[in-house]
Amino acid sequence: MKLWQKIFLYTLILVMLAVSITSILLLKNSFSLAMDQKKQSVYSEHEFLVTSFKSMMLTERLRENAIVLDEKTMLGFMTETFGESSNGVAFLDGEKAVVYANKSMKIPQELVEAVEEEKSTCMQVQEYQLYTASTENLEGKIYYIITENDIRDVVKIHENMLYEIQIISMSCAIVIAFILLIVVKMLLYPLKRVNEGTGEIALGNYRKRILVKGHDELSELASNMNIMAESVETNVRALENVAEDRKHFIDNLAHEMKTPLTSILGFSDLLQIKKDITEDNRIEYAGIIKEEASRMRALSGKLMELITVGEAKLEWQQEDMESLFREIGISLKVIADSHNMHLSCEAEKGMLCVDRELFKSLLYNLVDNAIKASQEGGNISVIGRFEEGVFCIEVKDEGVGIPEEEIAKITQAFYMVDKARSRAHGGAGLGLALCAEIVSNHRGKMHFESRLGEGTRVFIRMKGGKERA
């Protein structure tokens, strides 16, 4: 059974129970009041009848000038007085035997016993009759006077009202059911929308959003479902991107490994198969094998460094940037001089919490990329300065530059703008990916500015690793 059906049925049952119970209680109260009024009226009539009978007997006794009326006279007097009465009247003697009754009556024995015990007027309802009984001393004897009154009118009114209430209740049930059905459908329509929306999301349509209206609990539920769907969509896209990046990474790795391995295997076969190889060819083949093996060693080294940079336990320590830049500049100047390039590496005096070896690797890779992108005789500058508690690094070259549409991709592993130039210099496209990881570990950000033919500028802002959580 669906939720709207349960709500509809349970609410309808509760409403009908409430209406029925209320109606029955009101009807019962009304009937009780009517019966009380009827009993009060019958009691008054009974008392009046007894009093009138006593008065008429006194008059009759005076008329006949008798001290006590005999039984025959009393019986005749009773017949004359009550013979034409519409209500039943009966007289019982002390032995509870019927002395006189104006009509056939089913006198309740319990009523007579109650009057005998309580010595007062008692009343009892039996079927459609109301019996009233009292004891009176007449002509020196005890008599039980019992009157019978028809209460069929009161009972019929009660039965008619009960029947009318049943009809009204059924009519109300139909009307309430119709209204309740509409109300429940309207109230639960947003839930239906949420259910349909979550069904689509469950089937994989993570772009589905549920329309939110109002400020009730269902609207909050729809809003939370939208937030959940957005989170799921974001996570799914992130997983898809990770999977895609891994695929590219593996493809590029396989490609980068395949090229030197092919060369190594090929020239190794030549050295092994050819018997009449000249010394010059042997040296040439061995040189190629060595060069390709060096490329593979550099590639594996870069890969290991890239993999472990985020996992290794970093050794944070306060370093004076001016001193550290001077030390790094001396090492890098040898490389720059070997390519006939001018390198300047300097920084402001100040302390920054860094991992010394990673920081050196960062600047080495940036300068190495600048050298590969520049022509002989070019200038490369590395400048460090403090700005509002943040250490800023700028690496500038006068190389070939990077196309604007390629800048966003250059920190991806194995990505190379100019593959021929990079491979010619022994590159595999891992240097900037490693730099991005190092900067991230030092709570920093890195971005590039470049123009074709005018060179590239790398900007880094880092807070250092001292306060890392």
Partners of 101 in the beta sheet?
90
Q: Give the span between the Cα atoms of 378 and 398, in whole angstroms.
A: 6
Flag the least confident range among 163-177, 294-308, 312-326.
294-308
Residue with tokens 């396989």: 254
pLDDT at 468 over 60: no
Strands (E), 236-389: 316-320, 342-347, 351-355, 379-387
Q: What is the mean pLDDT of residues 8-30?
A: 86
Identity of the residue numbered 220: E
Of 115-119, 297-301, 453-457, the range with the lowest mean pLDDT is 297-301
The residues spanned by each domain of the chain are 3-158, 313-462
pLDDT, tens digit, for every residue of 43-101?
998 898 888 888 888 887 777 777 777 777 778 878 877 877 778 899 888 888 888 88
User: What Rg, from alpha-carbon coordinates, does the chain have?
Assistant: 57
**Of residues 348, 441, 355, the one with CA closest to residue 386:** 348
Which range of 147-151, 270-274, 398-402 scores highest in mean pLDDT? It is 147-151
Encode pLDDT of 156-194 as tens digits: 888 888 888 888 888 888 888 888 888 888 877 777 777
Rounded average pLDDT over 371-381: 87
Query: At residue 306, does pLDDT exceed 60?
Result: no
Asked if residue 206 has pLDDT above 80, the reply is no
Mean pLDDT score, 284-304:
72
Residue 20 scores a pLDDT above 70:
yes
Place 423 in a pLDDT band, splitting at 50, 70 and 90: very low
Report the Cα 298 to chain-centroid distance in Å: 53
Residues in the chain, overall count: 469
CA neighbor of 436 nearest in space, from 384, 366, 374 = 366
- Per the model's pLDDT, the better-predicted residue between 396 and 437 turns out to be 396
pLDDT, averaged across the chain = 81
Residue 278 in 3-state DSSP?
A: coil
- pLDDT band per the 50, 70, 90 thresholds, residue 258: low
Report how far residue 126's alpha carbon sits from residue 98's, in angstroms, rounded to the nearest whole number.
19
Q: By percentage, how much of the chain surpasses pLDDT 70? A: 88
pTM listed for this prediction? 0.44
Find the mean pLDDT for residues 439-454.
87
pLDDT in tens, 209-248: 777 777 777 778 788 888 888 888 888 888 887 777 667 6
CATH of domain 3-158: 3.30.450.160
| pLDDT interval class at 424 (50, 70, 90) | very low
Cβ contact 459:444 at 8 Å: no
Q: Report whether CATH 3.40.50.300 matches the domain 313-462.
A: no
The pLDDT value given to residue 298: 64
Residue 124 to residues 29, 82, 106, 151, Cα–Cα distance (Å) = 19, 21, 12, 12
**CB distance 3 to 183 below 8 Å:** no
Looking at residue 323, what is its pLDDT?
92
